Amino acid sequence: MTLCGVEKNTCNKVFARDADAGMNGDLDYSINSGKNKKGRFKIHPKTGQVYSNKAFPPSKTFELMM
């Protein structure tokens, strides 16, 4: 996933699907692991939109597990 380094900017969108019907098919997105210890990124739990929470150099790369 390529992410941007501009603060409060939408970086990417994650998409998942669950074949279950009703409440069992509802999904919530979250960042489970990776280099997000300093809170550089956040993800909207319902839409999957990933945002940069802080500015960082464009050459910097991060790996996150959603």
> Does the pLDDT of residue 12 top 70, yes or no?
yes
> Are the beta carbons of 6 and 41 closer than 8 angstroms?
no
Supply the pLDDT for residue 61: 76
> Does the pLDDT of residue 2 top 60, yes or no?
no
CATH of 1-66, one of 2.10.69.10, 3.30.379.10, 3.40.50.450, 2.60.40.60: 2.60.40.60
User: Is this structure's pTM higher than 0.75?
Assistant: no
Supply the pLDDT for residue 16: 87
> Are the beta carbons of 28 and 46 closer than 8 angstroms?
yes
**Mean pLDDT on 23-32:** 87
Supply the pLDDT for residue 1: 47
Domains of the chain, residue spans = 1-66
Token pair 């790996």: residue: 63
The number of CA neighbours under 13 Å toward the Cβ of 29 is 20
